[in-house]
Amino acid sequence: MIYDISRPVEPGMAVYKDRDEKQPRYEWVGVYAQNNYNESTIFTNLHTGTHMDAPLHMVEGGASVDTLDLELFVGPCRVYDLSSLDRRITRADLEPLGIKAGERVLFKTRNSFEQHFNPEFICLAEDAALYLRDIGILSLGIDAMSIERGDPDHKVHSIILGAGIGVLEDARLAEVPAGSYSILALPLLLQGREGSPCRAILETL
């Protein structure tokens, strides 16, 4: 079975902090009735909808999205169900899960069941980021629009991206049971950019 875990990109969609500048916008540049073809242009923030962060997003001089190893989000992965949490994900929440080095992990939380931006969205606590870094995971996916919130120093991003861990944000996991899958999530080949929208799917093993 294949699960599409991408958020549809459309005007009026839920975006980070409900910021107007993060709303996507489409413009028709050709319509069939007048031009005998349909063609449109999209204007969007690179972190709107389901997307990947590259180290350059939060690490000065970090790698850009076009240089990321595609294996970060291609291959076996595990979905962990943390939907009972009503606060940040901590190290204590992760320790019983048996996460291993080199693993691709996706965290399913109550975020997946919310259709609008919630300023109290579930994200990672700093000690959880340090724990995942020290384990040596390959990549991290979460159903939040960001892996952190409320920290002007962006410590969680800096820890995770600084360790070269792949970051997938705003995955939609409401219909996905916990367990083992194969993931395929690819960024656009955007030269020198700090992130990219992506289409992300999971396939049962």
Instruction: State the catalytic residues.
Output: 57
- Helix ranges, 37-146 (H): 91-94, 126-135
Residue 7 DSSP code: P
Q: Say if CB 38 and CB 30 are below 8 A apart.
A: yes
Phi, psi (deg, nearest 5) at residue 106: -125, 130
Q: Say if CB 82 and CB 106 are below 8 A apart.
A: no
The DSSP line for 11-61 is TT---GGG-GGGS-EEEEEE-HHHHSS-EEEEE--TTSSSEEE-GGGTSTT
